[in-house]
Structure 1
Amino acid sequence: MVPMLHIDGLANARDLGGLEREDGTFTPAGVFVRSERLDRVGSDGWRALHAYGIRTVIDLRRPEERTGQVPTTIRHVHIDLDGGDQTDFWAEYEADGRWGTPIYYLAHLQTLPHRLALLLKAITTADEGGILFHCSAGWDRTGLVAAVLLRALDVTEDAAVADYLHSFANADAMAALHERSFEVEERQQILNRFGHTAESAFRDMYANLDLEIWFRESNVEPSTRVAIKTWRGAAASLDRA
Structure 2
Amino acid sequence: MTPRPALPIGGLANARDLGGLERRDGTTTPAGVFYRSESLEHVTADGWDTIRELGVATIVDLRRPVERTACVPEDIDLVAVDLDGDHPEFWAPLEEDGTWGTPLYYPAHLAELPHRMRGVLDAIARARTGAVLFHCAAGWDRTGFVSAVLLSALDVTVEAAAADYLTSFRNADAMATLHGHTSQVDVRIAVLARRGHTPDSGFRAVYEGIDLAEWFALAEVEPATRDAITTWRGAVAASGPRPV
Q: TM-score range by the shorter chain?
A: over 0.9
Supply the distance in 2 between the matched residues of 1:239 and 1:229 (Cα, whole angstroms): 10
Shift of 1:68: 4.2
> Among 52, 68, 75, which residue is 2:54 paired with?
52
- The share of aligned pairs that are identical, in percent, is 59
Shift of 1:194: 1.1
Q: Is the 8 A contact 1:12 1:138 kept in 2?
A: yes
Q: Is the 8 A contact 1:153 1:237 kept in 2?
A: no
| Stretches of 4+ aligned residues off by more than 3 angstroms | none
Supply the distance in 2 between the matched residues of 1:240 and 1:81 (Cα, whole angstroms): 28
Supply the distance in 2 between the matched residues of 1:193 and 1:3 (Cα, whole angstroms): 30
| SS, match of residue 79 in structure 2 | strand
Q: Is the 8 A contact 1:9 1:42 kept in 2?
A: yes
**CA deviation profile, 1:74-113 (whole Å, cap 9, x unmatched):** 0001000001x11111111011000000000010000000
Q: Is the 8 A contact 1:113 1:218 kept in 2?
A: yes
Give the structure 2 partner of residue 233 of structure 1: 234
Supply the distance in 1 between the matched residues of 2:222 and 2:68 (Cα, whole angstroms): 29
**CA deviation profile, 1:31-78 (whole Å, cap 9, x unmatched):** 000000001102110011001100100000000011241001100010
Partner amino acid, structure 1, of 2:215: W
Shift of 1:199: 0.3
1:55-204 to 2 correspondence within 5 Å? 55-83=57-85, 85-204=86-205
Supply the distance in 2 between the matched residues of 1:145 and 1:55 (Cα, whole angstroms): 18
Supply the distance in 2 between the matched residues of 1:36 and 1:236 (Cα, whole angstroms): 30
Supply the distance in 2 between the matched residues of 1:56 and 1:219 (Cα, whole angstroms): 24
| SS, match of residue 140 in structure 2 | coil
Supply the distance in 1 between the matched residues of 2:78 and 2:195 (Cα, whole angstroms): 37
Shift of 1:3: 3.2
Partner amino acid, structure 1, of 2:33: V
Give the structure 2 partner of residue 222 of structure 1: 223
Note the aligned Cα RMSD (angstroms).
1.1
Question: Unmatched 5+ residue regions in structure 1?
Answer: none
Supply the distance in 2 between the matched residues of 1:185 and 1:237 (Cα, whole angstroms): 40
Shift of 1:217: 1.3
Q: Is the 8 A contact 1:11 1:173 kept in 2?
A: yes
Partner amino acid, structure 2, of 1:166: T
Partner amino acid, structure 1, of 2:192: L
Supply the distance in 2 between the matched residues of 1:167 and 1:195 (Cα, whole angstroms): 21
> Among 19, 22, 28, which residue is 1:20 paired with?
22
Question: Unmatched 5+ residue regions in structure 2?
Answer: none
Supply the distance in 2 between the matched residues of 1:163 and 1:6 (Cα, whole angstroms): 17
> Among 26, 40, 43, which residue is 1:41 paired with?
43
